[in-house]
Structure 1
Amino acid sequence: MKRTTLLCFAAIALLAACRKNVQENAPVLIDEKQSAPEMMASAALNSWMTDLPDNVSLAQLSIPGTHDAGARFEPISGTAKCQNLTIAQQLDAGIRFLDVRCRHIDNAFTIHHGAIYQNLNFQDVLNACTAFLNAHPGETIVMCVKEEHNPENVSRTFEQTFDSYVQQNPGRWRLAASVPTLGDARGKIVLLRRFGASSTPKGIAATSWADNTTFSINTPDANLRVQDQYVVPDNNAKWNRITDLFTEANGSSSNTLYINFTSGYRSLIFGIPSITTVSNNINPRITTYFTSNTSGHYGIIPMDFADAGKAQLIVDTNF
């Protein structure tokens, strides 16, 4: 293990006890485990897209999603884990947007959150998606793929390795550059591409992703509007950014795809991240917001610690 990594983990261990003293914005502690009502909701949520009309654009829907969908493990509590549910459980709970972070190693993809391997490989993610779509062919999955951490022992590009996965089952992917209608996307994985490509079209292009802000990406084929403030010194300011984009999305009649990340982290001493300081505060606000705002289209909403309860409220706005 590299010396810098050892020092990092040592710092995390020394500061772990300090995390409980960070009380700014009074985060509300909640139990993110699924309750019995949420488990019952999951059964209905596994096919919520199926009865929607074919001609509706994905840009005109409210779609629950997961930020760092595969991040379920961490060395110290609050520093890397973003989800409690597996990929399969997320899909059954109504999640239809997966933010997938791939490290390129040995000409294959492993799932990472930064330097932390998540005991999961890209093939595992694809297997879960394929099994779900086989069982629910009226659904679709929007998958954002981004390169994470440092490549190691590779003899080809990230794009070439991604292509090798697509070639296993090319009919399962929707790689056009435009935002599709639900009819065009049923039974498929719609790629949102955050990596460079020499051969296009290769999904909805999102390579000009701005850092830690709200921004637009406009291409000849698709328009995106994204809120991705992931460093969150103030939860109230973060929530204002989230709700501003909710309002903008719901008022839009264009085919712009809105992606509104409710996730983020608070930076503690020496830059140690605290994910739960944000999620414990923001997630109850999501529940409150969609308990009151029960109709409309609010875009894709990637969350930390997503569950069927919040997904149900978001999904219901489509009906």
Structure 2
Amino acid sequence: MFKMRGSSILCCLAASASVSATLATAAGNANSLAQFALQKVLQDGRDVFGEYTAASTSSSSSNASEPRFANWMAALPDSTLLSHVNIPGTHDQATWNYTQATQDFLRNATRCDGTTAYPAPVYRCQRESIAQALDKGIRFFDLRFAADPLGQRLVFWHSAALVSATASVGDVLYGVWDWLSRHGSETVLLSFQHEVGTVANATFDARVQGLMREALTGPAAEAFVWQGRGYVPTLAETRGKVVLVRRFDMDDDNDAGDGKGELPGLHMSPNKWNVNDTNGFALVFNETTNATAYIEDYYEPDVLGENSTVVSNIDAKMVAVKANLEKAASGEDPDSLFITFASAEHDSNIPPVVPETMALGNGTEVTPDGGVNHQLVSVLKGYRGKRLGVVVLDFFDEPEDLVALVLGDQV
């Protein structure tokens, strides 16, 4: 019979312990490397996503260390359709950090065809980051993308304004996915629109489409992007995930009319988006089932002419906003998605009515009732308990209770 001496046993145990320690060290190094890689991505995306330090990894809505609305969807039943939820949203969220200094710094990299950009306030629509907005309850983000001036990466633009030279679409997606990994009860709708008017002769060509395809596919995207197509899902299907609202067409999209194009999500083709419609419009994103979104996006009251007053611009916008909210609250088409853009500007006016002025007024007796945001307060209070759908805001943080009013009795 084979006998192992005590010293040999000890040697074997020591060797085994050494191997285990080596494997543990390797696993620890791999985990550390993954964390370093994520930190690098989040650092690159900071200009757009902002800085996010999790107070807790808990997704419990009762966690006292979390901001008030960080987990507000946790209170809703899994069976709830997204079209039945009142969802606070933001317009052109990527512009929160855009200043005149940013524009001046990027001037030579942005326009190569002699076009002169408007001053920075024309393009800035927010003053809090995506990370802050997520913690404060925003669950719909309007984001505008295009290739960078060299055509190498997808970055964020607002018309001629290049928002950041470092933050890519992929960087910001990882920021959202990281946030969702800590807030598993929540669903985030990301509306991506290909921005035109960026650099000379820019198009959404095969190369740019390929870059977007790469950003929205692969293992990470499959884990964090809802893979359904062409219908409004329930919270059970989308908790901890992004729902893509796709305002761009891919060459490989099919012609079946069933909304099941190349990429997942809700395909709201720009060919169906009625630009600057004063009355709102119905967008059928699945012709087979007649799945429809009712949208108000009257973003520039240019019918008022170039010498209109601030108040007349705010009033014109409020008429359009109230009409779409009234339709949503009436219960018409109860399972359809409603999206109301409360954001607007009138840049061609003299002087320009920039997004901040439209949303907040100009702080003088010229706008005694404030801007669109302030006037929304009484409207939202009147519809408390009603279905409103997605309400998309500029400068969402003012008045302070605006997000709470959109959420209403849900929380």
User: Which stretches of structure 1, 4 residues or more, deviate above 6 A after TM superposition?
Assistant: none
Deviation at 1:255? 1.6
Give 1 or 2 for the bigger CA radius of gyration: 2
The one-letter code matched in structure 2 to 1:43 is P
Counterpart position of 1:116: 161
Deviation at 1:44? 1.8
Counterpart position of 2:249: 196
Supply the distance in 1 between the matched residues of 2:178 and 2:352 (Cα, whole angstroms): 37
Task: Choose 119-128 or 108-117, whichever is displaced more.
Answer: 119-128
Please point out which of 387, 390, 401 is paired with 1:309.
401
Supply the distance in 2 between the matched residues of 1:286 and 1:139 (Cα, whole angstroms): 25
Deviations 1:267-309 (A, max 9, x none): 3457955222311110101223223432121010111011263
Supply the distance in 2 between the matched residues of 1:179 and 1:62 (Cα, whole angstroms): 14
Deviations 1:148-170 (A, max 9, x none): 13466998343321110122412
Alignment of structure 1 residues 150-229 onto 2, 5 Å: 150=198, 156-168=206-218, 169=220, 170-175=222-227, 176-197=229-250, 198-199=252-253, 200-202=261-263, 203-207=265-269, 208-213=272-277, 214-218=280-284, 219-220=286-287, 221=289, 222-229=291-298
Paired residues, what number? 280
Gaps of 5+ in 2: 1-63, 101-118, 254-260, 305-312, 361-370
Counterpart position of 1:235: 314
* Kept in 1: contact 2:329–2:383 (CA 8 A): no
Please say if 1:300 is aligned against 2:386.
no
The one-letter code matched in structure 1 to 2:276 is N
Deviations 1:104-161 (A, max 9, x none): 2334211111111112321232122112101101100011111113466998343321
The one-letter code matched in structure 2 to 1:205 is H
Supply the distance in 2 between the matched residues of 1:100 and 1:248 (Cα, whole angstroms): 26
The one-letter code matched in structure 2 to 1:185 is T
SS at match of 1:242: helix
Q: CA RMSD in A?
A: 2.4
**Structure with more strand by fraction:** 1
* Kept in 1: contact 2:123–2:355 (CA 8 A): yes
* Kept in 1: contact 2:194–2:204 (CA 8 A): no
* Kept in 2: contact 1:104–1:147 (CA 8 A): no
Counterpart position of 1:248: 327
Supply the distance in 2 between the matched residues of 1:190 and 1:309 (Cα, whole angstroms): 26
Please say if 1:265 is aligned against 2:357.
no
The one-letter code matched in structure 1 to 2:154 is F
Please say if 1:57 is aligned against 2:84.
no
Supply the distance in 1 between the matched residues of 2:87 and 2:349 (Cα, whole angstroms): 35
TM-score, normalising length: structure 1: 0.81
Q: Percent identity?
A: 24
Counterpart position of 2:137: 94
Deviations 1:161-182 (A, max 9, x none): 1110122412211142211111
Task: Choose 233-242 or 269-278, whichever is displaced more.
Answer: 269-278
Q: Structure with the greater relative contact order (CA < 8 A, sep ≥ 6): 1 or 2?
A: 1
The one-letter code matched in structure 2 to 1:164 is E
The one-letter code matched in structure 2 to 1:174 is W
Please say if 1:136 is aligned against 2:183.
yes
Gaps of 5+ in 1: 1-39
Task: Choose 77-86 or 267-276, whichever is displaced more.
Answer: 267-276
SS at match of 2:236: helix
Counterpart position of 1:19: none
Supply the distance in 2 between the matched residues of 1:236 and 1:211 (Cα, whole angstroms): 19
Counterpart position of 1:34: none
The one-letter code matched in structure 1 to 2:185 is G
The one-letter code matched in structure 1 to 2:321 is I
Counterpart position of 2:52: none
Supply the distance in 2 between the matched residues of 1:185 and 1:262 (Cα, whole angstroms): 26
